[in-house]
Structure 1
Amino acid sequence: MSPSGLLGAPAARFRALPLRSRLALLVALAVAVAVAAVAVACWFMVRTQLRAQLDDSLRAISTDSAATKANQVLESQLGCQQSRPPGGDRFASNLNASVQLVLPNGTACWVNGEGVLPVTGADLAVARGERRSVMHDVTTTGGTEMRVYTLAARVDQAGGAQLLAMSIAKPLGDIDKPLNTLAWVLLFVSGIGVVGAGAAGLWVARTGLRPVDELTGAVEHIARTEDLTVRIPDEGEDEIARLSRSFNSMTAALASARDRQAQLIADAGHELRTPLTSLRTNIELLARSEETGRPLPPADRAELMASVKAQMTELAALIGDLQELSRPDAAPRGALEVVALHEIAGSALSRVRLRGPELVFTAELEPWYVRAEGAALERAVVNVLDNAVKFSPPGGTVELTLHAGELTVRDQGPGIPAEELPHVFERFWRSPSARALPGSGLGLSIVARTAAGAGGTAELRRAEAGGTEAVLRLPGAPTPPPEVP
């Protein structure tokens, strides 16, 4: 298996753990690395200090009574002892160290301590005058590790001064035992620290992720019950609180969209029921006439067919309006392009004139170019003019003006009460006084939607001289923009 495969399996198992477990493990690992680094650094610092103290004590002994002791050995009649004399140290002192002399020929003369130290090449170099001193470690034949300080010395004899080396040694066990004890203490404390860090990390992870658990529970509850009224507490200003507020905003928007969808379906069903019921009644009359063999009078039959045709037209218009409103606001049906609003308004006026032959139409249209969907914009203008025709009295005047991007349609009808103005752009909303007139209540919703898609606004207000004014404000310019080559 490749190294990447060997590393991938633990990584995959780690990712499979819960988030709080991963956080606790990461915290414990980070603390373990930090504690281990501190413990190792502490151990090495103590070891360095203890060795430095041991070296200082060896140097102090070399300048104290050790030299006097060496002179006593060489001046005695016993000669140079190759090992510790049996029965104890005839020249015992309180040096608390092993001391021996090293002659240039490699002979070691015991002075003090448990036995003779091994002679190394560094000791011989000092004894022959090649070096002044040396500090090194040796291991005795008994397996004891010693720290040895060897320095050059001269002793006076009858034949003159003799050059030799004096080695002073202390067992390294004097510092190894405290270091071993310190290592166990550091290991114990580090273990407690790592375990405590893991427990603290798990507690912090649980505490910090509690809002995430609440969010997860809310999402699971919504997925299970489709209850969009659930809200999560969002105290504070941290990232979790922002996430909770975003989730609450999302569920509120979803609930509102679902309510609007349900209301749209209910309103559409209500609006479709009336023309469908009338169609069914008329068709049943025609079918019964054919089944019984008693034809309807020509006038009644013509009136019945005209009613069926009008109802089919109303159904087609209602379905078209529903299709228009069902499209997402951010998904225009056609491409936006620069269109001449004054030409679109003139074309819409020509279409509407046929629907109100008994009315007077006036138009003052200044050039104005906007970026919009041409077909949708013309339909919006037609809807506004249709409303003016619907509510105008016989012989009334419908005024259409376009000035500086503001398209105004004014009629001479009864006007709209002030309390109804906030509702005129709602889907399927119809004034109580207009319920007997044809229409579905979707026209002005389409007008507002089209104006917003072109970056403008739509407004309905009472005219000062009576009647109603519908105003479309669309951004643009009085001249078309230059064509891009």
Structure 2
Amino acid sequence: EQLTRVAEQVAVTGELDQPVLTSRHDEVGRLARAFSSMLAALRQSRTQQQQLVEDASHELRTPLTSMSTNIDTLRRHQDLNPEVRDRVLASLAAEVKALRSLTNELVELTMSARIQEVEGVIDLDVLVQRAVAIVAQRSGRQFDVDATPSTVVGRPEGLLRAIVNVLDNATKFSPAPSPIEVTTRDGRVVVRDHGAGIAARDLSHVFDRFYRAVEARSQPGSGLGLAIVRDVVEACGGEVTVANHVDGGAVFSIQLPMISAESEQEHPHPSNR
């Protein structure tokens, strides 16, 4: 009866912070505990959604304000010096590009949480080679790849995007023509750049949504790419970490669950070659 009242209260008010008595040790008690866990998960999801909206609103406000100012300048000063006008237009183009990137990454972030891509057996070395080819083509950067065959379980397209994001990040902070080192073995992908590394104060925040270190704010990006990496990797039962290399540069490591003989029979093996 108490569960019925709580369920009706949630349905009418939408309030998820409802107390549920879970002290009984029978079937009703099990149901009450499951219902309480469900409410807790819904509360957490709602909190995360609200935080994402607040963070996104804050990030959108800056480029929109700049665009509004530049448009107002063009409207009010139609006789601007051509050189000044070109600078204003270039600034507008840069803000539009930043907004497009932010919008795309927001969509990707929300879709990665909503779409449950089917997990399968993945040749990780092949997937890494695909990711390297994508980033090398669009960046023109050199990658030194040491890929030992290993097989993992995960979401192929999600993991491809996650590895691409880590490689993209490395190209931003590793000065050309220094190569970016990529190593794959035993279900682990390690990406090392030869940049300045990550300040100690920033290491624990690298995978936070919208977080950008002071040194990174001159670089393009929204601060969502590495948050997407974390979400995808953890959804696959893996872990992503970052540290500074003793000889300089940052080292990102993605560890994924290795495939067992039993898992290989349970999961399909998609073609990722």
Give the TM-score band, short-chain normalised: 0.7 to 0.9
Deviations, residues 253-274 of structure 1 (Å, cap 9, x unaligned)? 1111111111111111111111
Contact 1:342/1:365, CA 8 A, preserved across alignment: no
User: Residue 27 of structure 2: which of 239, 257, 265 is its match?
Assistant: 239
Contact 2:197/2:244, CA 8 A, preserved across alignment: no
Deviations, residues 159-191 of structure 1 (Å, cap 9, x unaligned)? xxxxxxxxxxxxxxxxxxxxxxxxxxxxxxxxx
Contact 2:153/2:258, CA 8 A, preserved across alignment: yes
1:314 aligns with 2:95: no
Contact 1:337/1:372, CA 8 A, preserved across alignment: yes
1:268 aligns with 2:49: no
Gaps of 5+ in 2: 260-268
Match of 2:241 in 1: 459
Contact 1:345/1:381, CA 8 A, preserved across alignment: yes
CA distance in 2, matches of 1:229, 1:393: 50
Q: 1:332 to 1:234 in 2, by over 3 A?
A: closer
CA distance in 1, matches of 2:92, 2:202: 33
Contact 1:234/1:245, CA 8 A, preserved across alignment: yes
Deviations, residues 332-391 of structure 1 (Å, cap 9, x unaligned)? 46996856224213213414634xx7xxx4412325466766654443233212322333
Contact 2:119/2:153, CA 8 A, preserved across alignment: no
Which one scores higher on RCO, CA 8 angstroms, separation ≥ 6?
2
Across the aligned residues of Structure 1 and Structure 2, the Cα RMSD in angstroms comes to: 3.2
CA distance in 2, matches of 1:451, 1:337: 15
Match of 2:22, SS state, is coil
User: TM-score scaled to structure 2, two decimals?
Assistant: 0.78
Q: 1:441 to 1:299 in 2, by over 3 A?
A: same
Is the deviation greater in 238-247 or in 256-265? 238-247
Could you tell me how far 1:277 is from its partner in structure 2? 1.3
Q: 1:286 to 1:432 in 2, by over 3 A?
A: same
CA distance in 1, matches of 2:112, 2:135: 29
Contact 2:241/2:252, CA 8 A, preserved across alignment: yes
Match of 2:221 in 1: 439
1:365 partner amino acid: D
Contact 2:122/2:270, CA 8 A, preserved across alignment: no
Contact 2:132/2:167, CA 8 A, preserved across alignment: no
Deviations, residues 121-175 of structure 1 (Å, cap 9, x unaligned)? xxxxxxxxxxxxxxxxxxxxxxxxxxxxxxxxxxxxxxxxxxxxxxxxxxxxxxx
Match of 2:196 in 1: 413
CA distance in 1, matches of 2:155, 2:43: 31
Contact 2:120/2:270, CA 8 A, preserved across alignment: no
Match of 1:279 in 2: 67
Could you tell me how far 1:288 is from its partner in structure 2? 2.4
- Where does 1:113-132 land on structure 2 (aligned, <5 Å)? none
Contact 1:352/1:386, CA 8 A, preserved across alignment: no
User: Residue 253 of structure 1: which of 41, 49, 70 is its match?
Assistant: 41
Q: 1:440 to 1:245 in 2, by over 3 A?
A: same
CA distance in 1, matches of 2:165, 2:247: 23
Match of 2:242, SS state, is strand
Q: 1:224 to 1:375 in 2, by over 3 A?
A: closer
Q: 1:298 to 1:337 in 2, by over 3 A?
A: farther
- Where does 1:48-127 land on structure 2 (aligned, <5 Å)? none
2:82 partner amino acid: P
1:364 aligns with 2:145: yes
Could you tell me how far 1:276 is from its partner in structure 2? 1.3
Match of 1:225 in 2: 13
CA distance in 2, matches of 1:324, 1:309: 23
Could you tell me how far 1:454 is from its partner in structure 2? 5.1
2:24 partner amino acid: G
Q: Number of residues paired by the alignment?
A: 258
1:346 aligns with 2:155: no
Gaps of 5+ in 1: 1-212
Q: Which entry has the higher C-alpha Rg, 1 or 2? A: 1
Q: 1:437 to 1:231 in 2, by over 3 A?
A: farther
Q: 1:379 to 1:288 in 2, by over 3 A?
A: farther
